[in-house]
Amino acid sequence: MKQLQLEELGRLSVEEYKKQPKKEIVVILENVRSGHNVGTVFRTADAFLIEKIILTGFTPIPPHVEIQKTALGATEAVAWEYHADILAYIESIKQQGYIIIAVEQTDRSILLPTIKTPPKKWALIFGHEVTGISQATLEVCDFAIEIPQYGTKHSLNISVAAGIVLYTLTHL
């Protein structure tokens, strides 16, 4: 066995990537404070051909040194937008037929492994590293999903959670 070199991986160029059909998934980051987490979500979105990322509130935006460090160029390939008002953006995307899904631990969360068929068009919201998704945003979501956890910690890092959720839902 040998590790493949970059040129052996057969990856798309940025131009080729932009022409590829994308999954109708929008990732919304609400008040994510760490540029490292934002950059990692960009890189994960690139891996799974996600439609776009929406940055809201005080979430840092590219170009930002922490984002660039972990995104490794994914900000050039993955479409993204900044919207100061997350609730207005959610209302507009709902009108386009997207199902709004909070990735959050709530009193009515659905466990991720129980989802068998995701909606055709969906938006996943990931929140602040400590406080999660705001109550006002939760109130306009169609439902919430939760990653089962069995250890002593009550949550996962947002970039880890995004990777688990995007991988799982894009492989159903």
CA distance 5 to 100: 39
| Side-chain-side CA neighbours of residue 164 (13 Å) | 17
* Average pLDDT taken over every residue of the chain: 96
Q: Where are the domains of the chain?
A: 20-170
In which band, very low, low, confident or very high, does the pLDDT at 6 lie, cut at 50, 70 and 90? Answer: confident
- Higher-pLDDT residue of 60 and 6 is 60
SS3 of 54, please?
strand
Classified by CATH at the fold level, domain 20-170 comes out as: Alpha/beta knot (3.40.1280)
Q: How far apart are CA 156 and CA 159, in angstroms?
A: 8
Average pLDDT of the segment spanning 121-129: 97
- pTM exceeds 0.85 for this model: yes
The pLDDT value recorded for residue 119 is 84
